[in-house]
Chain A
Amino acid sequence: MVTIADSRREEILAWLEEVKDPEVPVLSIRELGVLRDVEVSADEVVVVMTPTYSGCPAMHAMEADVVTTLARHGVPNVRVKTVYAPAWTTDWMSDEAKAKLAAYGIAPPARLQPDDLVPLRRRAPVECPYCHSVNTIVRSEFGSTACKAILFCNGCHQPFELFKSI
């Protein structure tokens, strides 16, 4: 049975699709996996979010955007609740979201493998989002944001960003 709270929740989730990651504006916070849930009660709306990286400065912008976006749709009492568990993982990203990243020029994160948390493991080859060559090298393990690394493609001689798998 669909209750009023359920339909209200669906409505709010649809509005939250407008909130994008400011650093990766092709992904909504739901596609990024940062939006975990929406809890609707009589006197407030609680938006449950989890950070990508512990110190990601874009989190504050996304939280503020959630509040202003919902205010624009006439939702006054919005509270953002931050949860840390389960820890955010790029595996929550759908294939559709990954395709959007690739089209935007960012190599999408590979699915996590069992040994990915083994220290000192080597990275599997990454495909260039422009020419699809796997003849690529890591230029920097860290990039312009906490979630990305910088690679270089020997096929098309272009630098590109990789959304790190964690």
Chain B
Amino acid sequence: MSRESENGGNDGWVAGARPATATSGVAQNPFFEYLLRLADDRLVLGHRLSEWCGHAPILEEDIALANIALDLIGQASMLLKLAGEVEGKGRNEDALAYFRDAIEFRNAQLVELPNGDFAVTIVRQFLFDAWDVLVLERLTAASNQALAGIAAKALKEATYHLRHTAEWVRMLGDGTAESRARAQRALDDLWPYTAELFLGDAIDAEALASGSGVDVESLRSRWRQTVDQVLEDATLTVPKDGFAPRGGRVGRHTEHLGRMLADMQSLARAHPGAAW
């Protein structure tokens, strides 16, 4: 990425998205930045899911959500470790997870939103999983061998998650009047945030050009095929595209991320270097 765009020019950025004003210099290393995006989606969503532990409506789902959280956090850990090596400044996965502030996180806003009710959590997970399998499928062919290896491993897990969440979307949508209403409301509320998943910028373009990226815009039609099919089975209505918040990829987040991080990072920050 060029110095102009880092300092506020708008070349290479999608319309409507301004570059971050404080990126701690991370944009100087585009592949590091790219890996953070992949890792932070997983870290933040994994932490959100872990908040359900002990609170899910039934025991099986408590276990399921915790298992999915574990997979996502495990994937984040591998990706952050790799990101730290690519950055070359001696930061390991824990330093990157616990000692960056919200403005340095690169996850899409969709994954940082509060869990809401069970329908919100499941619909969000389904929308993410359907996107995630497509991204990981492409990344298995990444020229960076470490990234390709992580993607091949994560793809197996993501495929399993998608089957589970798609099944739940069908059950909630084609269930009782109450579960259907909640699933539809969740879908309507979350839909705008899915747009960001398909927005590429200069960082994505550079990763793609180097052979280790994904043309996220090209994934949209296949994502819609999966999503439309499951929503039809679930008797849910696909919302109209319109309002499309964005900015997570360049460090602009909703108010919710900072609060989540305060919870997630407090122990590591209170006891730096602690091991157990």
Contacts and interface: CB of A to CB of B under 8 A. Distances in A.
Contacts of A146: 67, 70-71
Contacts of B162: 119-120
Interface stretch (B148-156, B177-185, B193-201, B261-269): B148-156
B229 to A, nearest CB: 8
B163 A121 contact: yes
B154 A119 contact: no
Interface string B145-172: 1101110111111011011101100000
Interface string B60-101: 100110111111111101100000000000000000000000
Interface residues of A, number: 28
Contacts of A55: 46, 69-75, 77
Contacts of A56: 70, 74
A125 interface: no
Contacts of A53: 70-71, 74, 157
Nearest to A116: B159
Contacts of B148: 85
A120 B166 contact: yes
A120 B150 contact: no
B205 interface: no
A120 B163 contact: yes
B140 to A, nearest CB: 9
Contacts of B237: none
A114 interface: no
A102 to B, nearest CB: 22
A2 interface: no
A121 B159 CA distance: 9
B231 interface: no
Interface residues of B, number: 38
A124 to B, nearest CB: 13
B21 interface: no
Nearest to B167: A141
B171 to A, nearest CB: 13
Contact of A150 (B60, B150, B160, B230): B60
Nearest to A119: B162
A146 B68 CA distance: 9
B157 A142 contact: no
Contacts of A164: 160
A54 interface: yes
A96 B274 CA distance: 42
B163 A141 contact: yes
Nearest to A84: B149
Interface of B: 46, 60, 63-64, 66-75, 77-78, 130, 133, 145-146, 148-150, 152-157, 159-160, 162-164, 166-167, 226, 230
Interface of A: 51, 53-57, 83-89, 117-121, 139-144, 146, 150, 164, 166
* 10 A-B pairs with least C-beta separation: A55-B74, A54-B74, A85-B149, A140-B60, A55-B70, A84-B149, A142-B64, A142-B67, A87-B153, A87-B152
